Amino acid sequence: MSKRVLTTESGAPVADNQNSASAGVGGPLLLQDQHLLEKLARFNRERIPERVVHARGSGAYGHFEVTDDVTGFTQAGFLGGIGKRTEVFVRFSTVADSLGGADAVRDPRGFAVKFYTEEGNYDLVGNNTPVFFIKDPIKFPDFIHSQKRDPFTGRQEPDNVWDFWAHAPEATHQVTWLMGDRGIPASYRHMNGYGSHTYQWTNASGEAFFVKYHFKTNQGIRCLSSEQAAKTAGKDPNSHQTDLLQAIERGVHPSWTLYVQIMPAAEAADYRFNPFDLTKVWPHRDHPLRRVGRLVLDRNPDNVFAEVEQAAFSPNNFVPGIGPSPDKMLQGRLFAYADAHRYRLGVNHTQLAVNAPKATTAQNYGRDGFMAANAQGRHAKNYEPNSYDGPVQTGRPLSAPLAVSGYTGSHEAPLHTKDDDFFQAGELYRLMSQEERSRLVANIAGSLSQVSRDDVIEKNLAHFHAADPDYGKRVEEAVRALRED
C-alpha cells in the first residue's frame, strides 16, 4: 500500500522535509525554499489570543436526552418530547488564570453547553456556581483586572483581590461559595453546572416563564482541600483535563441530570429577591427543581486546539422558545461573548466545525471577511429583501417580549423585599456543618490575612459580620491570629 504524499499548503508535493534548501553544501539557506518559509510562517501563527477569562479549559462531545415533559413551558424543539436526543459539545474551564495555569486551583469553573439543535445552535453558558461576584456588567472589567496578574508584580495579588471585594459587598455570597468546600472540584466530572443567569422560556401559546438551569452531576460531588489541590497541581497541572480525557477513553462517560426552576413571568415583580440579580439564588422551597433530561459526554475531541480552543459559546445564541431576561449581567454578556470571539477567531468563527450548526444549515447574508468559506454560489445575493429566492424572515419572535417602562439613564436595580448583599451569604453559611464552616473560615483567613492594608481587611470583615455574626467573628479571629504570627 503506497503512502500518501506530503504536500505544501497549495498541494504541491514536498521533495525533502528533513533538509532546508541551501546555497551549496553547508551554505546559507535560500529564500526560495517555499516549503521552509511556509512551515516557519505557519508555526509563528499557530497560537491565537487566549480568552481573557476562561482561558484554561477542556471539552468533550456527547448528547442531551429529554426525560420529562416540559412542553407546557417552552416550545424549544430540542426539548419537545421525551426521548428526544440532541448532540452537544461541552467546555469546562477555570476563570481567572491563563491558558498555562493549573486545573486544581480555587476558582469558579465555566460550564458551557452547545446544543446542536434542528432550529440552530443554542449556547447555555454558565458556571459551577449558581451565583456570581457582581450584578452589573459595567463592573466586570474591573473585577477581572482585580483577579488577574498584577501589572507590576506579574502575579495574582491578595491586595487587589480583596480590595475589589471590599468595595463590592454583593460579592459576599459568591466569596462564601468560592472559599467553601466546593471552591476546588476534584475533577470536572464531579461538579455541578448552573446556567447561573435567569432566562426566559416561552410556550406555544406565548406564555412566558423565567427559568434557572441546574446540571446535577451523576458522579457525585467531590472536592479537594487547599492542601490536596496544591499537591495535585504540582504533580499534574493538567489534572482535570487528564481525568476527563481518560475517563471517556476508557468508556466511563460522565453525565449530569438537568433540572430547572420555573417562575411564571407575572410573579417576578413581587418576588422577595430580585429574580434577575446574578448574586442571588431562588430558594428551592419557593421554586422546586423540575427534572428535564440527561447530559452525557462520550467522545473526546480529535484536536484540542481546533475543537476546544476554537469553540465559541455566545449566550445570545437562542432558539425558538428560549430568550433572555432583564438580568443585567446576562444582557452584558449577550454582546461581550460574541464580540470576544470575533476578536480572537475572526468574524467567520461560526463556520468552524465545532461552532457550525450540525442538525440544520445556517442561511444568511453574512459574507466575506477573513477566512470566509460561505460564498454560497455564483448568483447568490448578499442583500435582503431580494427577488432571487434568498432566505427570508419568519416574523415569529424566538421568545416573548419583555415589558419596559420608565426613563433612560443609569439605574440601580429595583429593590425587592429581601434584597440585600448579605442575607443569602448568611443563609449559605448557616446551611454548612461545623466542619465546613471551619474550612471556609480557614480558607478566607489564609488569603485575607495576606492583605497589606488594614482598612481593606476591615471592610471585608464587615461583610462577613453582616452576613452572620458568628461568621464574621470567626473570620476576624482567624485573620488576627494569622497576622500576629
Active site residues: 54, 127
Taking the CB of residue 446, how many other CB atoms lie within 10 A of it?
Answer: 15
In terms of phi and psi (left: phi > 0; alpha: psi -120 to 50; beta: otherwise), the region of 154 is left
Cα 157 to the center of its chain, rounded Å: 24
The type of residue at 197 is H
Three cell numbers, residue 73: 413551558
Cis omega (within 30 of 0) on the bond before 385? Answer: yes
Give dist(CA 331, CA 278) in Å, integer.
Answer: 11
Of 314, 328, 260, 320, nearest in space to 289 by CA:
260
Sign of the four-CA dihedral 183, 187, 188, 189 = negative
Q: Which residues contact 5 (CB under 8 A, 6 or more apart)?
A: 13, 14
| Residue found under cell 407546557 | 72
97: nearest Cα among 44, 51, 166, 136: 51
163-166 own/partner pairs: CB under 8 Å, 24+ apart: 163/451, 163/453, 163/456, 165/133, 165/460, 165/463, 166/456, 166/459, 166/460, 166/463
Alpha carbons 16 and 33: distance in angstroms, whole number: 11
CA distance 37 to 470: 67
- 60 sits in which H/E element: strand 57-66
Residue 196 CA to residue 177 CA, distance in Å, equals: 13
Residue that has been written with the C-alpha cell 437562542 in this structure: 318
Cβ contacts of 324 within 8 Å, gap of 6 or more: 199, 200, 315, 316, 318, 330, 331, 334, 399, 402
